[in-house]
A and B are shown apart, each in its own frame.
Chain A
Amino acid sequence: MGRIEKHPILGDLPERREVTIYLDGKPYPAQEGDMIAAALIANGVSTLRFTKNEHKPRSIFCGIGRCTDCVMIVDGKPNVRTCVTPVRDGMQIRTQEGTGSWEGGGAK
């Protein structure tokens, strides 16, 4: 949905280091300090996960780490709250199906 480059109260968007994150293998540009969900939404991504029983799409709801609607598999770990987790250059994110699974096999 885009970034707010200029804002009448908050001023210009500060310059931050560009990083690359991967969603289901596809690269997306992000900025250092972004929360994962914010970076994905800025890139026009609507769906962060699908529900277990009816495979329905979900995205952020509370935006502050309380409701868990935004969880995705991040660097192999499922159920990561993407609205409060910052991006990392090279981060591998997967659209989570249901309750997700540990990638690379087995519980940690």
Chain B
Amino acid sequence: MTRAELVIVGAGPAGLSAAIEAAKNGVKVLLIDENAKPGGQLFKQIHKFFGSKAHRAGVRGYVIGQQLLQETEELGIEVWLNSEVCGIEDSGHLLWVIRDGKESVQVRAEKLILSTGASENAVTFPGWNLPGVMGAGAAQTMINVHRVLPGKHIVMVGSGNVGVIVSYQLLQAGASVEAIVEAAPKIGGYGVHTAKVCRAGVPFYVGHTVKKAYGTDRVEAVDLIALDEKFRQIPGTEIHLACDTVCLATGLTPLTELAWLAGCKFDFIGALGGNIPMHNEKMQTSVPNVYIAGDIAGTEEASTAMEEGRLAGVNVACALGHCTAEHAKTRSDEIWENLNALRCGYFGQRRRDAKDLILKKGADLGI
């Protein structure tokens, strides 16, 4: 039986940031991840991040990842890789972990932070399961982590930031992006991201979706089709495009199985991806020793994930008696200021409203 003051499940940007913040305050941390390498989705982000200096603006995602890993090492944080948490009991105090697919161990935790991220949604159409149709994240993993091109002629479905950024990265990898398809009447992603691919000659098709994907051994072409104001397909508006890959960038849903197992109370917040554990301003859920941070708390971005990780980390440190309430409050206020700065303006306000709703619901639940 392994015992830890703080167990963090998920070593992506939120989990790493939480581990670092807690460890800096003297907490003995055990960081667990099911993958062979830590970093979550961060190492695939080869573009320069936005935000301010405090948010490490101008630094590429994977460089931030390297910085976080270095800090983790310097602080001597224990990391278990290839370790799947497959069970949680006793209100989040007892975890069952399978290590390296071979050994089953129990871990006793005083406090638990769940930072398990989110997974990609799929939109379905006839032919969606042909080889060559994949999540945009899968294509991003192939090109930026494995350095392999999944295809040469890509149709991207979804014009949010993920769709547009991955399209740009596919161009950088040497592929051609034939179209970015968006069902809504307007493009979803930032104008500066869309401008980059637009000047590279990539056309946008708003108010369209994929009607069908054709091919025998793999995707060979798609039919796009226009949508009316009720998102119904308009017959006769088909556009036939040759391609060998279709990437689906159609949203993310938080990975919340462990929060369900721990007994956390949930609510449905559509704007942030679905069913989300409710929490307070310390990132604490309805199960007092269980905290959440990052995409599990609502799908946003790496910058907010890191801030939420720090927020959970410092408040756990305080709850464990490693720092004063004053320190936790000062640090929390600082972090909330950073979070609010990321959640304003045309794009951010919707997320801010959704996060405020979570806090309100959390308060109503007595969290």
Contact = CB atoms under 8 A, between A and B. Distances in A.
Asked whether any CB of A lies within 8 Å of a CB of B in the complex, the reply is yes
Interface of A: 1-4, 7-10, 13, 34-35, 38-39, 41-42, 46-48, 56-66, 69, 83-84, 86
Interface residues of B, number: 34
A83 to B, nearest CB: 8
Contact of B134 (A13, A34, A60): A60
B53 interface: no
B151 interface: yes
A46 B217 contact: yes
B60 interface: yes
B149 A46 contact: no
A20 B132 CA distance: 24
Contacts of B174: 4
A58 B146 contact: no
A63 B132 contact: no
A10 B36 CA distance: 20
Interface stretch (B89-97, B136-144, B189-197, B315-323): B136-144
Given A3-B147, A8-B172, A47-B131, A62 B217 contact: no
Interface string B96-132: 0000000000000000000000011010000001111
Nearest to A2: B149
Contacts of B141: 63-64, 83
Contacts of A41: 142, 148, 150
A38 B139 CA distance: 11
Contact of A58 (B34, B120, B129, B148): B129
Contacts of A65: 34-35
B331 interface: no
B66 to A, nearest CB: 13
Given A9-B172, A46-B218, A59 B132 contact: yes
B35 A46 contact: no
Contacts of B217: 46-47, 57
